[in-house]
Structure 1
Amino acid sequence: MIYLIHLHDIQKKLPQTDTLLFDNLNFALNGHQSVAIQGRSGSGKTTLLKIVAGFDTRYNGLYEFKGVTISKNPKKNIKFRKDTIGIITQNYNLLGDRNVQANIQLGLNEQSKNQNKDIEKMLSLVGLPGYSTKKISEISGGEAQRVAIARALIKKPAILLADEPTGALDEKTELEILELFKNIQNLGTKLIMVTHSNAVAEVCDGKYVLENKRLISN
């Protein structure tokens, strides 16, 4: 069977100590629309996302995307990531000297005559209609996370990777972002989310725990 993402016997060592972080880790994104990955601090959750995104290629084992082996040359993975992967982090990674529209434009693979209309549609989707010209310094943390989500989704990625996407938000804003993630799943975009929050994990239809150097279905 060909899976969207398939990790075969991944072995990963920490570069400083040569300690095994993953040992024969396997994972297949099958029928799930969304997957939550949990585990103790230091278990390798963020590192696993970096492998899936093609950032971290220093591992043994095989990573396949739609049946095609992903290169272990980071430079060769730039196009794969640009065409296929959307990424959301806890710290948003927005450019503070640009407005909302300019930040979302960074997610586009190429410019188009309809890009302004596309950006407005995306802002409406994430609950920020009319925010195009607002400066990043003028918006709240929850709004900044919504802008980051819009930027990740604007290119219509096959999969969205989220690393502790609600970690810096208060409980009320976290709940609002969770509703947004539910809507995102209806778009057909797959979601893999690292989180320490059980409430966030409950949004996903697949749950895994990183323990004993492997990914275990929860």
Structure 2
Amino acid sequence: MHPSNTIGQSAVEFREVTRTFGDSAHTVTALDNVDFAIPRGSIFGVLGESGAGKSTLLRLMNGLDHPTNGQVLVNGTDLASLARKQLNQMRHQIGVVFQSFNLVGNLTVEQNVAMPLRLQKRKDTAKVAAMLEFVGLGHRTKHYPAQLSGGEKQRVAIARSLVTDPLLLLCDEPTSALDTHTTGEILELLRTTRERFGTTIVLVTHELDAVKAICDQAAIFEVGRLRDIVAVNAVQTDKGETYLDHVRTVLGQ
């Protein structure tokens, strides 16, 4: 476990963040004065329907985009203040798991997992093997993505994202392309990742059950606005609602 990854400190902070697109005549507000923090070592859900601002949040957290106003801090560092080289170094500490897996079809499983190390001009075959054992695919190292099931592809993607020992793992709808049984397996793997490595995990999803299964807290977004932050493991809110009932009330479902 990373020694600095203890719950109670912030892995990510959004400080009055607004992100707009377009010109003054046609401005679209993707995020509107968003302010919240993600505790280190937590599994934090970001919940909302299409158009809620989830993709923009992810891009801001991994430094692919910067706020129009406000600050996004990762491990205490304002990403917008970094030069390109510094930002690239910071992004080595951030892993990303995508809905569509994003594996390279003509590379084997082990070559896909080794890719982030190659980009850093590193070679560590033992680390690649250890990550594949961790996700349960030590027997599939020489296979190609086309030979894998959807769940196996996502396990490869998770191994690839963890091979550089990231402090922060961003998961973008990682289970929405999977069946119910496989979804449960991938969520359990993410929970084990936090327990084994102390990784802070951000789960971006529109699936209430996925958030309920593994998250400590969840931020609920609607049309670019932060509507609420809820403690997922609380049986009831202070109004006597269950967690899922409260989320549905906030989102008007």
For the Cα contact (< 8 Å) 1:35–1:193, is it kept in 2?
Answer: yes
Say whether 1:209 aligns with 2:216.
no
How much is the aligned-residue C-alpha RMSD, in angstroms? 1.9
Which structure would you say has the larger Rg? 2
How many residue pairs end up in the alignment? 215
TM-score (norm 1): 0.91
Q: Which residue of 2 aligns with 1:52?
A: 61
Counting only pairs closer than 5 Å after superposition, residues 1-218 of structure 1 correspond to structure 2 as 3-15=10-22, 17-30=26-39, 33-71=42-80, 75-76=84-85, 77-82=87-92, 84-108=93-117, 109-112=120-123, 115-186=124-195, 187-202=197-212, 203-211=214-222, 213-215=224-226, 216-218=228-230
Deviation for aligned residue 1:31: 5.5
What SS is found at the alignment partner of 1:36? strand
**Gaps in structure 1 of 5+ consecutive residues:** none
Quote the Cα distance in structure 2 between the aligned partners of 1:163 and 1:55: 14
For the Cα contact (< 8 Å) 1:32–1:206, is it kept in 2?
Answer: no
Quote the Cα distance in structure 1 between the aligned partners of 2:9 and 2:191: 26
Q: Which residue of 1 aligns with 2:244?
A: none
**Gaps in structure 2 of 5+ consecutive residues:** 1-7, 231-253
Match of 2:162, as an amino acid? L
1:97-125 Cα distance to aligned partner (Å, 9 max, x none): 1101110111223423xx22211111111
Quote the Cα distance in structure 1 between the aligned partners of 2:170 and 2:9: 20
Q: Out of 2-11 and 202-211, give the one that drifted further.
A: 2-11
Deviation for aligned residue 1:13: 1.0
For the Cα contact (< 8 Å) 2:9–2:40, is it kept in 1?
Answer: no
For the Cα contact (< 8 Å) 2:41–2:194, is it kept in 1?
Answer: no
For the Cα contact (< 8 Å) 1:34–1:192, is it kept in 2?
Answer: yes
Provide closer, same or farther for how the CA distance between residues 2 and 15 of structure 1 changes in structure 2, counting only shifts above 3 A: farther
- Greater RCO, CA 8 A, separation 6+: 1
Quote the Cα distance in structure 2 between the aligned partners of 1:118 and 1:101: 10
Provide closer, same or farther for how the CA distance between residues 179 and 23 of structure 1 changes in structure 2, counting only shifts above 3 A: same
Deviation for aligned residue 1:73: 6.6
For the Cα contact (< 8 Å) 1:54–1:74, is it kept in 2?
Answer: no
Deviation for aligned residue 1:71: 2.1
Match of 2:160, as an amino acid? R
Indicate the percent of aligned positions where both proteins have the same amino acid: 33
For the Cα contact (< 8 Å) 2:71–2:78, is it kept in 1?
Answer: yes
